[in-house]
Amino acid sequence: MELQSEKVATRSKKEQLIDIDLRNLATEIANMPPSGDGSIKFRAIMTQTGNNNPSASFIKTDITPISVTRIVQGIYRVLFTGNPLTVNTEAFISTSIQENHPGAYSSVFRQNANELTIFTRDKDGNLIDDVLESSMLSITVWP
């Protein structure tokens, strides 16, 4: 079993700084006062390895997903109860710099009122796994 400290030691200084920045951002988001604009917010740090389902560490949840699953290589589904994702939904996902997949990126799309799909690709646009590593998923549903 690999210890977290061993994993950190094998990562580049740049990756370690990005992870620190994401954790700081997560703390700032979690401590933000309500905006008063009537929006619904969801923030989570997403991680996915191999052919496993992504995991999500929730930071701020006005809505909670019921499942986060891997569909096939590079495609993941986030399902919510009810229909919280109106047409006024804004969603984005960040991608950490990847040593094992330079140039990899991710994107997120609203499929319907209770489903988002996340795609992860290599620099050539091919669907791949192992791209979500401390990736921030941010959703805002505007009134």
CB-based contacts of 71, cutoff 8 Å, min separation 6: 77, 117
Cβ atoms 137, 55 nearer than 8 A: no
Per-residue pLDDT, 77:
95
Region 85-101 average pLDDT? 80
Tokens of 127: 């669907």
Cβ atoms 62, 82 nearer than 8 A: no
Residue-wise pLDDT for 60-81, tens only, equals 888 878 899 999 999 999 999 8
Cβ atoms 18, 98 nearer than 8 A: no
Res 22 pLDDT > 60: no
In which element (H, E) is residue 90 found?
strand 89-93
pLDDT confidence band for 3 (50 / 70 / 90) = very low
Res 29 pLDDT > 60: no
pLDDT confidence band for 1 (50 / 70 / 90) = very low
Distance CA 109, CA 79 (A): 12
Res 41 pLDDT > 60: yes
The residue ranges of every structural domain in the chain are 4-141
Q: What is the pTM of this model?
A: 0.73
CB-based contacts of 80, cutoff 8 Å, min separation 6: 63, 64, 65, 66, 114, 115
pLDDT confidence band for 93 (50 / 70 / 90) = confident
Distance CA 90, CA 138 (A): 8
